[in-house]
Structure 1
Amino acid sequence: MIEVIPIDTPSLGDRSYLVTDGRVAFAVDPQRDIDRVLSLAESRSLTITHVFETHIHNDYVSGGLALARATGASYHVNGEDDVAFERTPVREGDEVAVGDAMTVRALATPGHTHTHLAYVLRADGADRAVFTGGSLLYGSTGRPDLLGPEHTRTLVHAQYASARRLAAELPEDAEVYPTHGFGSFCSATQSKATASTIGAEKRGNPVLTRSEHDYVATLLDGLDAFPAYYAHMSPLNAAGPAAPDLSPPRRADAAELRRRIDDGEWIVDLRSRTAFAAGHLAGTLNFGLDGSFATYLGWLIPWGTPLTLLAETPEAVAEAQRELVRIGIDRPAAAATGKPGDWTDGARPRSFPTAGFAELAAVRSHRPVTVLDVRRDQEWDESHIPDAVHVPLHELPARIGELPEGEIWVHCGTGYRASIAASLLDAAGRRVVTIDDEYAEALTLGLAVAA
């Protein structure tokens, strides 16, 4: 019996897969922390014989090469990709036997990248599934704009043709297993679906129900910003990333933390936004582990800046390290655990207030305050507080100087990004209030209006 085992990375919105006949297995698009795949294989007494890469990834560092080296598996990467490591080149139409029961066939599906491949799993005489990577996603497709604007229009038309090819050549009951689309910025739009088939996509996916003109126009019009760290992922993957070092970082005392802050390094507090607002080391930034930690930290940090992690427990530091190696931030400069009083060397921790949209409405009724909206452009265009200042979070570090003097009330959609923004403002010496509330409340109260 053939089994497809998803390996989710919800913090990045991606899935890898381990596929087995009960004896041998192959992996598709594994993440950098390959111990998850190895542990799964060991727990089921499986031998991993092949690793397949659908494309040179733009949103995470691949574990494919490291997994192949650790297991002795063949590493299949498109022969057209310019890479600096030994691999088993695979091209359109190639078939690879995996054990006695499975065959994997490569299909050229350009669109997300120029050399993108999908892999069709054939077993028991039928095409049972297709691993679509960043081509055909659940209710969507992969973005065509990650390689630069000069390639976008060519790739978006290629993406349309690739999705149509998959729909035409595969049976309706073939299961669809994409890598992106579970929150990843590699997806053109997001879907809540967790499973699908070619037939279901033919009935509901815009790329398969709309004309090419409508699909292209709608997709391009809906594209928004994507994380800055994406620019570093493809070169890292083409160079051949090794297995990560997840050993604990060296410990820093309060004096070292202050020195690092004074030197302009990033000291990141991993605690919740509530805990951070209540008390923190002055100059630190809040990227809580309870949200899209790696995505936003990777997006905002100047690449290569030394990074020190603060958390209540060593386990939280270890979790953050795992998240960070997936985007190529391999070794923190240092770490410290405990509570703010342990990190301040006797100084009183800083704090700032939090509030909801109801409190904002009450305050605005008797005094003016600056409202800062750090949501993305698409969110702002759909609805916003009319007199708010709009600076998307990823632009804020370079634009703090543009903000009006005085107290700033900062909000996003749920509070997570607002806390990051508030920590940036607090570190810059600004007076800030975090609105830790759902944006829907602003609409209910009449503070915000739809565009």
Structure 2
Amino acid sequence: MDVTVIDTPQLGDRSYLVHDGQTALVIDAQRDIDRVEALLAQTGMSLTHVAETHIHNDYITGGLVLARKYGAAYLVNAADDVSFERTPIADGETVRVGELTVKAVATPGHTHHHLSFVVEHGDEQAVFSGGSVLYGSVGRTDLLGPEHTEGLTHDQYASARRLAQEAEEKAALYPTHGFGSFCSSGPATGADGSTLGEQFETNHVYTDPDEEHFVSELIANLTAYPNYYVHMGPANAAGPTEPNLEVPDSLDPAELRSRLEDGEWVVDLRHRVAYSAEHLKGTISFEYGDGSSFTTFLGWIFPYDRQLTLVGSRADVENAIRDLSRIGIDSPDAALGEDPEKLAPGATVSSYPRVGWAEVLADRPTEETILDVRRAEEYEDSHINGAVNIPLHELLPRMDEVPAGKLWVHCGSGYRSGVAASLLERAGKDPVHIDAMFAEAADAGLPMDG
């Protein structure tokens, strides 16, 4: 048995291509299936089956399109309410994929109808656990609403023990979540690999002998997750289409100016340093970089009923289009280029200060607000004395709560505070972007609480 990992670090997830040397199965495919197709072409494998461990909450699946394209059986839990034809599979059922035996094991917890797949090839065994047992923890249990959370957390505890009965200790473990995804709960390690037996020794779902303690501790430690999750489940149950990943023709300057004047969502993909120094007023700073923060935080606050325009280099726009398609933001428009004055001649070009902790200490009058845009649990753990906390994902609906006057804005690394500073300026506020690591604030001399 050969397992190829298809990593999507932008969302903290993994998909898998599993084969016996000739015949292949794909598990939990991301929407941009061209990556899978490239592997199939490279290896010469025949794809006969595509499987979903669950109806995903953090990305749009490519499983349906992939299965249809290759005439493969699409294995989806028979209990899931979906609007497309699939090959229903239920707990305990097995299918043959070439020389591989694939057994479905009911592992509810992350969702009600979650399945794991135990795959065997001779004396080799692998467990594809989706959002059940992760490396160091389990998938979060609160995505279906608070009324289901406690029951699903008990289910998650029981499901881990079910997997321990269904697979051997030496079985390689391949979860979908746990590599930065907000679908993880607890101390997921993000390790490169593990076995089920190793998890018996290190994962709190196995090492905690008290189910009630495990349940209460996991629920107490659940944190906020991105708003875009609300769109993923319904889209996956309806049957997603294949995305259009082509870069559109660049908007002409007059149209870009018009969109800025109308307050539309125009996102500047350049580095936050370049943005703070010079940008088209009314744009929002979402530095693309490697996309790992871009996708999550843009998806978290973008209103899905609005048209999105991306501004940046062709390479960044192309990569951003791919990343956004994975969370159902399709067909954004684009203005290609990185010089604000050339992109929209006649439009207002703006800037705001960007500082480090030394400048905060030296230059900030005590009456001016430090605005902390980290999540509430980060703020509660430790924060600068007197700082006002409005998390980035709450900033737009709570803009009327933002104090008057100059705002010195920080987060954990400088990324979220760069986004927040641009949103504040767009709303007519006066931001100073603190582009520094929060972990260095105390050593720099900032008075801390917590």
Shared topology, TM-score over 0.5?
A: yes
What is the match of residue 142 of structure 1?
139
**Aligned counterparts of 2:48 and 2:158: Cα–Cα separation in 1:** 32
Assess if the C-alpha contact under 8 Å between 2:317 and 2:334 holds in 1: no
Q: For 1:50-65, what aligned pairs fall within 5 Å after superposition?
A: 50-65=49-64
Matched ranges for 1:23-422 at <5 A: 23-99=22-98, 101-126=99-124, 128-189=125-186, 190-210=188-208, 211-290=210-289, 291-311=292-312, 313-347=313-347, 349-364=349-364, 367-422=366-421
Amino acid in the other structure paired with 1:323 = D
Offset at residue 369 of structure 1 (A): 1.9
Name stretches of at least 5 consecutive residues in structure 1 with no aligned partner. none
| Distance in structure 2 (CA, Å) of the matches to 1:304 and 1:124 | 51
One-letter amino acid of the structure 2 residue matched with residue 292 of structure 1:
S
Deviation string for 1:361-407 (max 9, x for gaps)? 2224x543210000011111110012000001100011122112111
Q: Which moved more, 1:28-37 or 1:376-385?
A: 376-385
* Partner amino acid, structure 1, of 2:178: G
* Deviation of the 1:449 alpha carbon: 2.9
CA distance in 2, matches of 1:318, 1:69: 26
Range that drifts further, 189-198 or 73-82: 189-198
Name the CA distance, whole Å, in 2 between partners of 1:95 and 1:139: 28
Q: What CA distance in whole angstroms lies between the structure 1 residues aligned with 2:280 and 2:255?
A: 12
Q: For residues 331 and 55 of structure 2, what CA distance do their matches in structure 1 show?
A: 23
Letter in 2 for 1:151: H
Give the deviation of 1:164 after TM superposition.
1.6
TM-score normalised to structure 1 length? 0.96
Post-superposition offset of 1:446: 4.0
Letter in 2 for 1:194: D
Amino acid at match of 1:110: P
Distance 2:361 2:91 in 1: 59
Aligned residue type for 1:298: G
> Is the Cα contact below 8 Å between 2:335 and 2:343 reproduced in 1?
no
Structure 1 window deviating more from structure 2 (313-322 vs 250-259): it is: 250-259
Measure, in 2, the Cα distance between the counterparts of 1:351 and 1:149: 43
CA contact (8 A) 1:383 1:448 kept: no
SS at match of 2:129: strand
Query: Post-superposition shift, 1:347?
Result: 4.3
Query: Which runs of at least 4 in structure 1 moved beyond 4 Å after TM superposition?
Result: none
Q: In structure 2, the residue corresponding to 1:77 is in which secondary structure?
A: strand
Q: Are the aligned partners of 2:371 and 2:389 in contact in 1 as well (CA < 8 Å)?
A: yes
1:45-91 deviation per Cα after TM superposition (whole angstroms, max 9, x unaligned):
11111101000000000000011011111110000001111100000
| Structure 1 residue identity aligned to 2:410 | H
For 2:101, the aligned partner's letter is T
CA deviations over 1:284-324 (Å, ceiling 9, x no partner): 0011112411111111011211100000x212111010001
**375-384 or 341-350: which moved more?**
341-350
Give the superposition deviation at 1:338.
3.4
Q: CA deviation at 1:192?
A: 3.4
Change (3 A) 1:66 1:380: same
Deviation at 1:348, TM superposition (A): 5.3
Query: What SS class does the counterpart of residue 147 from structure 1 fall into?
Result: coil
User: Aligned Cα RMSD in Å?
Assistant: 1.3
In structure 1, C-alpha distance between the alignment counterparts of 2:17 and 2:190, rounded to whole Å: 22
Query: 2:4 — aligned with what?
Result: 5
Shift in alpha-carbon separation, 1:133–1:360, aligned structure 2, 3 A:
same
The residue type paired with residue 382 of structure 2 is S
Residues 318, 284 of structure 1: alpha-carbon distance in 2 compared, 3 angstrom cutoff: same
The one-letter code of the counterpart of 1:122 is E
- After alignment, is 376-385 or 256-265 more displaced? 256-265
CA contact (8 A) 1:373 1:389 kept: yes
1:194: how far off? 1.5
What is the distance in 1 between the residues matched to 2:309 and 2:18? 38
Q: Whole-Å Cα distance in 2 between the matches of residues 156 and 264 of structure 1?
A: 43
Q: Verify the 8 A CA contact 2:408 2:433 in the aligned structure 1.
A: yes
Match of 1:66, SS state, is helix
Deviations 1:188-220 (A, max 9, x none): 133231111111100010110112122111111
Structure 2: how far apart are the matches of 1:398 and 1:355? 26
What is the deviation of 1:336? 3.0
Amino acid at match of 1:109: T
SS, match of residue 441 in structure 1: helix
Task: Give the whole-Å Cα distance in 2 for the aligned partners of 1:295 and 1:131.
Answer: 24
Secondary structure in 2 matching 1:92: coil
Q: Distance in 2 between matches of 1:216 and 1:85?
A: 35
SS of equivalent residue, structure 2 residue 408: strand
Aligned residue pairs total 446
By how many angstroms is 1:23 displaced? 1.3
Structure 1 residues 163-172 or 9-18, which shifts more? 163-172
